Amino acid sequence: MDDSPLLTVEDLSTEIHTSRGPFKAVDGVSFTVRPGEMFGIVGESGSGKSVLGRTVMGLYTSGPTMTVTGKVVLDGTDVHALTAAGRRRLWRSDVGMVFQDPATALNPVKKIGRHLTEGMRGLSRTAARTRAEELLRLVGIPEPRRRLGQYPHELSGGMRQRVVIAIALAGEPSLLIADEPTTALDVTVQKQILDLLGRLQAELGTAIVLISHNLAVVAGRADRVAVMYAGRLAELAPAAALFAGPRHPYTEALLASVPRLADPPHSPLQAIDGAPPDMAAPPPGCRFAPRCRYASDACETSPALVADHGHAYACHHPVSSIGGA
Amino acid sequence: MARDLVRRLVELVLVLLIVSVGTFALVGLMPGDPAVVVLGEGHTAAEYAAQREAMGLADALPVRYGHWLGDALTGDLGTSFVPPNSDVADRVAAALPVSVELAVLAMAMALLLAVPLAMWSAYRSGGLVDRIVSAGTFGILSVPSFLAGMLLIALFAERLGWFPRLEWSRISEGLGGNLYHAFLPALTIALMETATFTRVLRGDLITTLQEDFILSAKAKGMAPVHVLFRDALRPSSFSLITLMGISLGRLIGSTVIVEYLFALPGMGTLIIGAADAGDVPMVQGAVLVIALIYVLVNALIDLSYGRLDPRIRRAHV
């Protein structure tokens, strides 16, 4: 059942050099994604999930502004060992990215058709137009032929995000990285876009890494979910197991902070005390310890991510799966 | 769209009227009495009065303005006060092509240099090329154009002998010879423009390159050159285009120093000579034509914004 992974991320770190000194936006992250899987990554703002997505894709590489260590292997290719031209070839075919805000992810002075066709290689003009039309139809855009001649501002937000997805699909990628694909959209449109991603995953067999700060977006759609905190993975488990019995205190607190309709009126929201750490000077050991109600002296050393029947967590004081701590 | 164009045309006419009033007012602003300029020393009061009458100076200002504007609209800019009393329109028509050619050529050179320089600087901002370009543009901006011109003459005309100096060849005498003669003066002007263009475009490009759509173009697998030219340049070119319009208009009348250095028969030389001699009709005619070009060029620039950004086309003011 467990086929060989499509994507393997091994001890990946992205250290960003700033004027205030370097900080690790991503710190030793490892996970795998299976072909055709929907893999969720959740974390609050600043937890490093977008940087992780871009590093995995190879958009962020070692250079004057950052240092990347560790390994990303996609379909047998070591992404960070590729030349710039090799990476571009990879982006044209094997991996696509969906961005957060479709209003800014499309060039305002370029027509939709050009956005779709300019990346296509070895196709005649008419063949490329036909293919672009097909792609727009695939993502559920009505009157695709007319849309090709329109500019991004002539489309609604949801429609634009569909275009962004169509662009990402142009090279028939085996992996799609969707970085907060619904955050900038209306709630009703959010569901449509998530349903679309689910449909594409099922119909095309495309693996999707769904990055979100919103647990509800990931719940019920992702096969497995990774919880990120301050650049590290706190917990990684099949979605059902994670939501039913979180092992990491951060995940537990996150789940508890979601308001429920069943709660009696006026019951206070469960917030997590404190604030995420300053990434330029993170706490030693467990990053969550300063905000954790289970913290002890042991938490001054970093806990390793250990797996327990496919449910991995990085904590010295894991929450018991059933029946409290 | 049609209504828009009509409104713009009305605006244009209004601006031109204001310009013409300003130009006409030059008569009063320039030192010396035009009648005295024409008569020279040693004339009687009667001669003076007759001359004023003949020149229309005795009429009320609005009447004189009306006459002047009417003549100008039919292409008659009057005759020079100074012997050989040539036709102003003819003199302007002879000098204008030289200045326009210099300005256009300088602009083209500046763009050809500035666009790649700005792109490289912005793409690798903070890098070696960026720092060299930055220092170089600052250096050029702080050197007056006559010095740059003298250096270019010393190097390319005197020492290397690649280009002529103190000679001019009209386009009508052959394009090759004309370009050959125009190269050094145009380059002198272009250096300064290149420096400002590069700085402005570099700044806008750096802002544009941080946009999401640049990252998404990269994520699509587009090559850096494609991203720079096809994605980043157009959205970054608004300040540049605006600056170009202002520069082009300005250059036509104010390349005096360069014209002088290279002994070119352009508008700058014409205006300075006329102003020096108190030749009011000549100054008026030249200034009016330059103002007209300036206003028209900038009106065209305004219209080009809509072509650059489709969002402006729709949401038209």
At B69 the pLDDT is 87
- Going by C-beta distance under 8 Å and a sequence separation of 6 or more, which residues neighbour residue B289? B92, B96, B267
Q: Is residue A241 part of a domain?
A: yes
**Rg of the Cα atoms in chain B:** 24
Q: Which of A89, A101, A167 sits opposite B212 (nearest CB)?
A: A101
Mean pLDDT, chain B cut into blocks of 10 residues (317 residues total): 77 87 79 74 80 76 85 84 83 89 92 95 90 92 83 83 76 77 87 93 94 91 90 91 87 78 86 84 88 86 83 59
Q: Which of B221, B231, B234 sits opposite A92 (nearest CB)?
A: B221
Question: What are φ and ψ of residue A33, in 5° steps?
Answer: -125, 130
CB-CB contact of B176 with B90 (8 Å): no
Q: Is residue A118 part of a domain?
A: no
Token representation of residue A316: 């010295």
The structure tokens 């060849």 sit at: B169
Q: Is residue A77 part of a domain?
A: yes
DSSP string for A146-183: HHHTS-GGGS-HHHHHHHHHHHHHTT--SEEEEESTTT
- Domain residues for the domain of A65 are 7-35+47-103+213-313
The count of structural domains within chain A is: 1
Q: Is residue A139 part of a domain?
A: no
Above 70 in pLDDT, residue A194? yes
At A28 the pLDDT is 92
Alpha-carbon span B196 to B314, nearest angstrom: 31
At B316 the pLDDT is 45
Instruction: Give the CATH number for residue A17.
Output: 3.40.50.300
- Lowest mean pLDDT across A215-219, A277-281, B208-212: A277-281
At A324 the pLDDT is 42
Above 90 in pLDDT, residue A152? yes
At B254 the pLDDT is 67
A207-215 average pLDDT score: 93
Higher local confidence (pLDDT), A22 or A226:
A226
**pLDDT tens digits, A153-188:** 999 999 999 999 999 999 899 999 999 998 888 888
Q: How far is CA B265 from CA A101, A300, B150, B167, B182, in A?
A: 57, 82, 18, 10, 12
**pLDDT tens digits, A253-265:** 888 888 777 778 8
Q: Is residue A133 part of a domain?
A: no
Q: Is residue A162 part of a domain?
A: no
Alpha-carbon span B141 to B122, nearest angstrom: 19
Q: Is residue A219 part of a domain?
A: yes
ipTM higher than the 0.90 cut: no
Alpha-carbon torsion angle B160, B165, B171, B172, nearest 10 = -120
Mean confidence (pLDDT) of chain A: 90
Q: Is the dihedral of CA A58, A60, A62, A67 positive or negative?
A: negative
Count of Cβ atoms closer than 10 Å to residue B22 Cβ: 13
Count of Cβ atoms closer than 10 Å to residue A123 Cβ: 13
Q: Which of A66, A77, A90, A107 to mutate to test the interface with B (most CBs of B within 10 A)?
A: A107
Enumerate the β-bridge partners of residue A209: A39, A177
At A234 the pLDDT is 94
**pLDDT tens digits, A78-134:** 999 999 999 999 999 899 999 988 889 999 999 999 999 988 888 899 999 999 999
At A88 the pLDDT is 92
Q: Which of A88, A90, A106 sits opposite B223 (nearest CB)?
A: A88
List of chain A residues whose C-beta atoms are within 8 Å of the C-beta of residue B314: 153
* Cross-chain residue pair B220–A109, CB shorter than 8 Å: no
The structure tokens 């917030």 sit at: A271
Q: Is residue A237 part of a domain?
A: yes
DSSP string for B285-299: HHHHHHHHHHHHHHH
The structure tokens 């700033």 sit at: A18
Alpha-carbon span B187 to B163, nearest angstrom: 12
Q: What strands lie across the sheet with A66-74, from one edge to the other?
A: A21-33, A7-18, A66-74, A77-78
At A1 the pLDDT is 43
DSSP string for B146-190: HHHHHHHIIIIIIIS--S--S----GGG-HHHHHHHHHHHHHHHH
